[in-house]
Amino acid sequence: FQRLEAARLARPSMKVVVVDPRRTETCDIADLHLALKPGSDVALFNLLLAGLAKRDVVDRDFVDRHTSGLDQALTAARATDSSACGLPRADIETFIDWFARTERVVTLYSQGVNQSSAGVDKVNALINCHLLTGRIGRPGMG
């Protein structure tokens, strides 16, 4: 957290989004706190994936070379009900817009995400967004 906080102070234009049902200390430096319904992480990241595809924020070369199953993932993502997260639609749109416009995106999560009963699904949904945009495996992103 201290490294993230220092980076935020050094680069005030950097956006920090906290995705957590609870208000934690991390929210103090956040530009956007998405206090989603517990257990709706996959829905949120599916909405992100569908939103990125809709905005055509797709690194097609990367996707073609390094992924499979895009059509199936997008079908599932597009079927996600935006009310599933319990968030205002405007906040979801802001989240998608910021991710879409930001070349260097880093996603951090704590043990709660991958230790839940749906941890694999949560992490896969999140990684799908990085894979779609090719924002993985390069400095300052992943």
pLDDT tens track for 79-105: 999 999 999 999 999 999 999 999 999
Find the angle CA(86)-CA(15)-CA(39) to the nearest 5 degrees: 25
Percent of the chain clearing pLDDT 90 (strictly above): 76
Per-residue pLDDT at 64: 97
CA distance 72 to 59: 17
Residue 121 CB burial class (10 angstroms; 0-12, 13-18, ≥19): middle
Q: What band does 114 get if pLDDT is binned at 50, 70 and 90?
A: low
CA separation (Å) from 127 to 13, 78, 97, 134?
24, 17, 18, 10
| Closest listed residue to residue 44, CA positions, set 89, 92, 108, 76 | 92
The one-letter amino acid at 119 = G
CA distance 125 to 137: 17
Residue count (the chain): 142
- The pTM of this model reads 0.93
Q: What band does 60 get if pLDDT is binned at 50, 70 and 90?
A: very high
CA distance 134 to 142: 9
